[in-house]
Amino acid sequence: MKKGDKELVRTAFEMAVEAHKTMRRKSGEPYILHPLAVAQICVEEIGLGVRSTICALLHDTVEDTDVTLEDVAREFGNEIARIIDGLTKIATVVDANSTQQAENFKKILLTLTDDPRVILIKLADRLHNMRTLDSMKREKQLKISSETVYVYAPLAHRLGLYNIKTEMEDLSMKYLEPDTYKEIARKLSETKRERTRYINEFIKPIKEKMDKAGFTEYEIYGRPKSIHSISNKIKKKGVSFEEVYDLFAIRMIIDAPQEKEKEDCWKAYSIVTDMYTPSPERLRDWLSNPKSNGYEALHTTVMGPQGKWVEVQIRTKRMNEIAEKGLAAHWKYKEGTGDEDRFDKWFHNIREALNNQESSSLDFLQDFKSSFLAEEIYVYTPKGDVKMLPLGATALDFAFSVHSDVGSRCIGAKVNHKLVPIAHKLRSGDQIEIITSSKQKPSEDWLNFVVTAKARTKIKDALKEGKRKIADEGKYILQRKLEQMGASFDIHNVDTLTQFYKLPSQLDLFYKISTKTIELKELRELTLHGDKLELPKPAKPILEPKHEYDPNKAAPSAKDSELIIFGESSDKIVYTLANCCKPIPGDDVFGFVSTGKGLIIHRTNCPNASRLLANFGHRVVKTKWAKNKEISFLTGIKIIGVDDVGVVSKITNLISSELRLNISAITIEAKEGVFEGNIKIFVHDKDELDELVNRLLKLSGIETVERYDTEQ
């Protein structure tokens, strides 16, 4: 600490204590413990300095207490006031097509590009909220967790804060999929001893060789993979816990002077691969080409003792600090390097995307996720310059990253001298030359395959421009028509017509009139009132529908609003079960109020859940099942096993005769001695399904039985 810093931190602390003195957190503890913990995370886990610590201590004061930004500026100067302004959650701006969350996020990013400390403190704030989520209500836990996994964890990853990213993902999973989380945690602790033994056996010969080779300062140890990443492996690869081979990774950290770093890392690599055979396709060299979040390391996967694959990560002390402290450590080492920093490039691109005010916040959030938080690939221009693009980028994305005109006129590309279509997906290391034509112009279907925000924005702009020209013609047609009727061409009338034809905007109305998609014959149905058009009144009285859940009506008492019960009292509320995850009674579920469809029930581990919960948290209703034996629900199971005589009759016998369940459809295919069966059955609840799965697994020759959720 410099002279006088201590007093500043003390003043900030006292200001925060005073401001929050009457407040408590949900858990009942004094509120001041939260800003203190956030400041601690900033210092210890992110490695930020004095100014950030002051901001962390005061981050909630302006929003929640009587302290104003002016007070902060007077006491600590403008820079700190600006960061706190960025942190002060934004007065909830909810416009019709976006949600508070996406809006907040956009504002946070605007400040981020001025001062990245804002986002780092915001991440510390979110991490502490995740650590203390236990005292929150269940729906709050779901909303906050899914938002974390959807936006904040990828952001932490992108800023190089691996430890924080991992912890955020693990904590989110603890609330979103509690059963899976507990199960994996239990298995990890049960296998801990044999893992430790294995790691020691693996490391010993490497240590001996390292010492012989003259390495003195180095560490080598094993660290377990996160629960979240193990669960992802299980889901993606469709394997069981026991079959996940990389439950841990071996890390080698070498103390080397900066000019010898690469050399020493490759030396260590050759020592490891002399001992154990490496898998050729699993070598990742981020020494020569660091990731854009600053990460540098060598990763390889080798065949260890007992025929197990082991991942080994090799890096130096400096690289390790960057890997753990990300952005903050990056600045420390940045002084003195002349090249424009990758981070700065990234921030510059975000600024560009933010300046485009056209898109709604939700679109922005989608674009942000796909183009700024994705892993990158490196590609080359014909002259050999490197460009970074998100994974999944196409030749067209590359064209737009060169220049928007090149993108708009792109008709194809040569990738490594071979001709490819514009939708061709690029891979790391490709060299790309774009082919353009002056006759080409962007079309609607381009939006289906580009992934970068820049390309999307430029295509949308070009389409809008084209649409506007055509729409102008429609405007005149409508004006003439209205004047003939004696109605005036004004905002009210145009809005009335836009509503009447159920269109999203006036532009669409003019466009459709111009392209003759809308004939204006129906104008007769509209009544004139003065010179104002009025929508036709419905003639017949509409039958009273079942009461749909309406979030805007006065909320019932707290007890009622918590639970919506399916089963016995299901006649009170219109609800539908989501098709994407087919919930059945007993599943962990939440209700989602959709426009027009009433309440839709999703499972909390449904593939769409984190998006819905993160973007539309205010529409989520906590739901619970009631036991009801009258209603059956359709669900499906997938069975894989050894093809044996009579296996089908064993299965159907168990389902129909013993458990007396109704089968709705059954298909069984056998191939090369293995059969795969898909069975759709009606069950009353999850217990019944679980019993069925357990009983099936006991039949001889059956390997796996899984429930499947999606339409298959």
Pairing mode, if any, of strands 702-708 and 284-285?
A: unpaired
For residue 136, count other CB atoms closer than 10 A to its CB: 18
Measured distance CA(395)–CA(418) in Å, rounded: 12
Q: From the candidates 5, 64, 115, 508, which is the catalytic residue?
A: 64
3-state helix, strand, coil in the chain (%, to 5): 50, 20, 30
Determine how β-strand 218-224 pairs with β-strand 248-254: antiparallel
Whether 564 and 624 have beta carbons less than 8 Å apart is answered as: yes
Active site residue 709: no
Least Cα distance to 625 among 605, 607, 601 occurs for 601
C-alpha–C-alpha distance, residues 370 and 208, integer Å? 45
Q: Is 63 an annotated catalytic residue?
A: yes
The whole-angstrom separation of Cα 572 and Cα 553 is 15
CA distance 312 to 599: 49
Contact 42, 124 (CB under 8 A): yes
Q: What is the distance between the alpha carbons of residues 135 and 124, in angstroms, rounded to a whole number?
A: 19
DSSP-derived secondary structure letter, 245: S
The C-alpha torsion from 265 through 269 and 271 to 272, rounded to 10°, is: 130
> What's the CA gap between 198 and 327, in Å, rounded?
34
CA distance linking residue 643 with residue 186, whole number of Å: 34
Catalytic residue among 63, 134, 190, 560: 63
User: Which candidate, 131, 144, 138, 132, places its Cα nearest to that of 26?
Assistant: 132
Distance, CA of 666 to CA of 347 (rounded, Å) = 54
Pairing of strands 624-625, 565-566: parallel
Alpha-carbon span 203 to 167, nearest angstrom: 26
Alpha-carbon distances, residue 441 vs 406, 414, 456, 470, 511 (angstroms): 11, 19, 14, 15, 19
Q: What is the Cα–Cα distance from 657 to 282, expressed in whole angstroms? A: 50
Q: Taking CA 349 as the corner, what is the angle to CA 344 and CA 354, rounded to the nearest 5 degrees?
A: 120
Q: Per-residue DSSP letters for 602-634?
A: EETT-TTHHHHHHH-GGGEEE-EE---SS--EE
Rg for the chain, CA atoms, rounded: 30
20, 32 Cβ separation under 8 angstroms = yes
Residue 657: CB atoms within 10 A of its CB come to 8
Task: Give the integer Cα–Cα distance in Å for 560 and 552.
Answer: 15
**Which phi and psi (to 5°) does residue 191 adopt?**
-95, 10
- Whose CA is closest to 366, among 523, 183, 192, 154? 154
Distance CA 691, CA 707 (A): 12
To 5 degrees, how large is the angle CA 180–CA 182–CA 187?
Answer: 95
Residues classed as catalytic: 63-64
